[in-house]
Structure 1
């Protein structure tokens, strides 16, 4: 399994490049610049030397996109989503993680069934944007402080299994599983073969408390489910250089412990 880290700008990417990481994951917000600024950003990121394999937050909060509810506007949301996917693809991104809790939350009094239909419609169209760029779309379950819709891997599996002709995957995140106090192994097993990506962090984020036993259980479950792709550290670092280095040490140790000894 490869280990990556979310970066929120070029300075963090440059610091992350000095760590024992296999790839980096872009925060969509960092790509929201125009013209010469974007050209300069791409040049600076290209010089980092690590691949940018994934992107999270493809519907940045600043745009106020809504894909569920009476104010849902898929056309406007897909314009933002498609633009950021195009920018990410230019940097080599191949997996797009859709969390975006503010965009998918179901408003009070709104029909949950109608919300589910709206969300599936958006996912199908977002998948098309990814597919034509050779990218994978991976839906991320979020905890209830971030959204009231799709809060577990089991719920995410129900959403993606109901799609027709759109192979949307699931991003499993140890932080959200622990925040919801859900059983780790059962949650990962529920996502099962639909897993396309994975996130992890300290709990709460920024606390430096990584719950190594739970993290090992998480990675062991991912391996048992057949996931051999990316595991991205998505944390809130106050001092990125120092705190990200400590987190990478933790997860290198967790990956080694979960993988077990190499055969003789």
Structure 2
């Protein structure tokens, strides 16, 4: 399993390149620069020589995209999604993590069945956009403070099964599981072979409390599910250079000890 880190700026990417991370995961917001400034940003990121294998937040909050509810506008959301995927593809991104809680939150009183249908339709369309760029879209379950639609691995797996054959995968996230009070091993097992990617962080983010035994349980469950892709640390580091380095050391110890034969 490779270890990555979410970067929110070119400066963080440059710091991450000097740390013990195998790849960077781009926050979509950092790519939201005017089109004429994008080549310079892309070139700066490439100069770090850090592989950028994933991108999160492909529907940045600033655009106010909505994919469920009476104000859902799939054409506009897909336009934003397509543009973000193009920007990520220029960096070599292969996995697009679809969280975007604000875009999928179901308004009070709106039929849950209709919201589910809208969301599945959007996922299939997003899959097509990704497939055209040799990318994979990986649905991320979020905690209920961020959205009321898909709050567990179990629910994410049900969505993936409902669009069977659409090539939609899952991002399993330890932070969201713990935040929801869910059983880590049970939830990761529910996602199983549909897992394409994984996120983790301190709980709460930015606290420095990674709950090492919980992280070890999460990694063990990912390995048991057959996951051999990326595990990205997605945290809010006040001192990126120091705190990200400490996180990298912690997770390498966990990965090394968990993968070691008993």
TM range (shorter): over 0.9
**Equivalent residue, structure 1, for 2:39:** 39
What does 1:64-143 correspond to in 2, within 5 Å?
Answer: 64-143=64-143
CA deviations over 1:66-109 (Å, ceiling 9, x no partner): 00000000000000000000110011000000000000011000
Structure 1 residue 37, shift from structure 2 partner:
1.4
Structure 1 residue 243, shift from structure 2 partner:
0.8
Structure 1 residue 165, shift from structure 2 partner:
3.4
SS in 1 for 2:177: helix
Distance 1:99 1:81 in 2: 12
Distance 1:72 1:149 in 2: 14
Once structures 1 and 2 are overlaid, which stretch shifts more, 95-104 or 26-35?
26-35
SS in 2 for 1:80: helix
Distance 2:161 2:7 in 1: 31
Structure 1 residue 254, shift from structure 2 partner:
1.1
**Equivalent residue, structure 2, for 1:58:** 58
**Equivalent residue, structure 1, for 2:241:** 241
Structure 1 residue 256, shift from structure 2 partner:
1.2
SS in 1 for 2:219: helix
SS in 1 for 2:89: helix
**Equivalent residue, structure 2, for 1:201:** 201
Distance 2:209 2:47 in 1: 33
Structure 1 residue 36, shift from structure 2 partner:
3.2
Distance 1:75 1:170 in 2: 23
Say whether 1:168 aligns with 2:168.
yes
User: What is the count of residue pairs matched by the alignment?
Assistant: 262
Distance 1:164 1:223 in 2: 24
Runs of 4+ in 1 over 2 A off after TM superposition: none
Structure 1 residue 164, shift from structure 2 partner:
4.2
**Equivalent residue, structure 2, for 1:258:** 258
Kept after mapping to 2: 8 A contact 1:216/1:257: no
Distance 1:43 1:144 in 2: 38
Instruction: Return the TM-score normalized by structure 1.
Output: 0.98
Structure 1 residue 34, shift from structure 2 partner:
1.9
Distance 1:139 1:151 in 2: 11
CA deviations over 1:218-245 (Å, ceiling 9, x no partner): 0000000000000000000111111111
Q: Which runs of 5+ in 2 are unaligned?
A: none
Distance 2:35 2:187 in 1: 43
**Equivalent residue, structure 1, for 2:25:** 25
SS in 1 for 2:145: coil
Structure 1 residue 41, shift from structure 2 partner:
0.3
**Equivalent residue, structure 2, for 1:224:** 224
SS in 2 for 1:119: helix
Instruction: Return the TM-score normalized by structure 2.
Output: 0.99
Distance 1:8 1:20 in 2: 18
Distance 2:213 2:179 in 1: 15
